[in-house]
Amino acid sequence: MNCIKRLRSLLTRSSPKQFPRAFTSSTDDKVDETRQWPRKIFSGIQPTGSLHLGNYLGAVQKWAELQNSGEDVTYCIVDLHSITVPQDPETLRNNIIQMTATMLACGIDPNKSTVFLQSTVKEHTELNWILGCLTTMARLRHLPQYKEKTQKMKEIPLGLFLYPVLQAADILLYKTTHVPVGEDQVQHIQLTQHLGNLFNNRFGTTFPDCHAIIDKKEAARIRSLRDPSKKMSKSDPEVKSCIYLTDEPDVIVEKIKKAVTDFTSEVTYDPENRMGVSNLVAIHSLVSNGKSTEEICKEVQGIDTGKYKMVVAEAVVEHLKPIRTKINEYLKNPSELVYILEEGREKAQGIAEETMAEVKQKVGLGANLSEFSVLKTISKKM
């Protein structure tokens, strides 16, 4: 045994490239705070069928902009996150295909971005377990979304409690440096930073410090049409609160006609005091080739809010028309969508495998069999 220990020491010191430090204590490593990490962007979206207008304007449209600016981007359909609540298997599969078609129709290009399905890369769940062993129940229990989502639940699924750890694993697995998120997700990014730093300090520098990209523009705050005090959401029981990208023109018109405003007829942009009207102005601005809210208000001077709703409806219908057409075209060939996801999986898998090999080596999981074999052979000769 003493011979093996001496050989082990010699090999790790003299030939670090050939023989990784599988046998040295990773706690001896110091975090390298000066290391420069390449800028990498990651974001995920649940496969809940068609996107609504808030998802599109606040997230996916931004993803396309990041992609087209030459960023290194990875976009993931997070089906594992979706099963934190009960799902019908057939509906879930259809929703995955629907979401893939929608992302492509919104401008996500698999030749410029890595687009894949979360559950097809097993390393997400492997890193999730390792990170879960580093965090505490108290830390997760204080997250605001957990409190919000479980308020009316008598029995809370464990997955709903743990999903922020899986979210951190999604991000860290690709050594992400930047994550585009809404303000409601900032604390989850902070948890990711905490877990990455905890791992680095315990096992040696492995993950970069990730940062939230928060869009302060109106796109990040599209409100419910029926209750502008809340974000636009699919979970809203009021069906007219939410516009979907696949809604037919007459449906869009009807929903916007029923949008809650106030008793002042003039169209102004004042989000604090006139949330309903301001929400319509924000939507109108975002679907009008970059016109500011100030420009929109000047253009519609003299029009009351009732007539203005029809102006907004027309603008939304025109903006979504080509997207809806593309979605329907993509859905005619689901096998092509599956192929695109598989190509994306191959790209993501390569990165994920490298990260997990490094993580396992540092944590002490598994065994470097080739190194064991070399040691055994040399010891026999001695």
**Tokens describing residue 104:** 């492509």
Query: Helix axis angle, 334-363 relative to 305-331, nearest 10°?
Result: 90
In Å, how far are 8, 217, 253, 257, 352 from 174, measured between CA atoms?
31, 27, 42, 44, 6
Residues in the chain: 382
Which residues lie across from 214 on neighbouring strands? 181
Starting at the earlier edge strand, list the strands of the sheet with 178-181. 114-117, 73-77, 41-45, 178-181, 211-214
Catalytic option among 112, 217, 234, 347: 234
Letter for the amino acid at 204?
A: G
Maximum distance among all Cα pairs of the chain, rounded to whole angstroms: 95
Task: Give the number of C-alpha atoms closer than 13 A to the C-alpha of residue 112, restricted to the C-beta side.
Answer: 13
Report yes or no: 113 and 81 within 8 Å, Cβ to Cβ.
Answer: no
Catalytic option among 112, 149, 257, 347: 149
DSSP β-ladder status, 41-45 and 73-77: parallel
Is 362 one of the catalytic residues? no
In Å, how far are 101, 181, 235 from 58, measured between CA atoms?
18, 9, 17
**Tokens describing residue 243:** 């516009």
Query: Helix axis angle, 186-203 relative to 334-363, nearest 10°?
Result: 40
Catalytic option among 175, 231, 309, 362: 231
Burial (CB count <10 Å: 0-12, 13-18, 19+), residue 322:
exposed
> Which of 310, 308, 329 has the alpha carbon at shortest distance from 318?
310
**Tokens describing residue 132:** 């879960």
> For residues 167 and 43, what is the distance between their CA atoms, to the nearest angstrom?
10
Is 231 one of the catalytic residues? yes
Report yes or no: 208 and 214 within 8 Å, Cβ to Cβ.
Answer: no
Query: Helix axis angle, 275-286 relative to 305-331, nearest 10°?
Result: 50
Is 376 one of the catalytic residues? no
Q: Which residue has the tokens 């492997």?
A: 126
Annotated active-site positions, please? 149, 231, 234
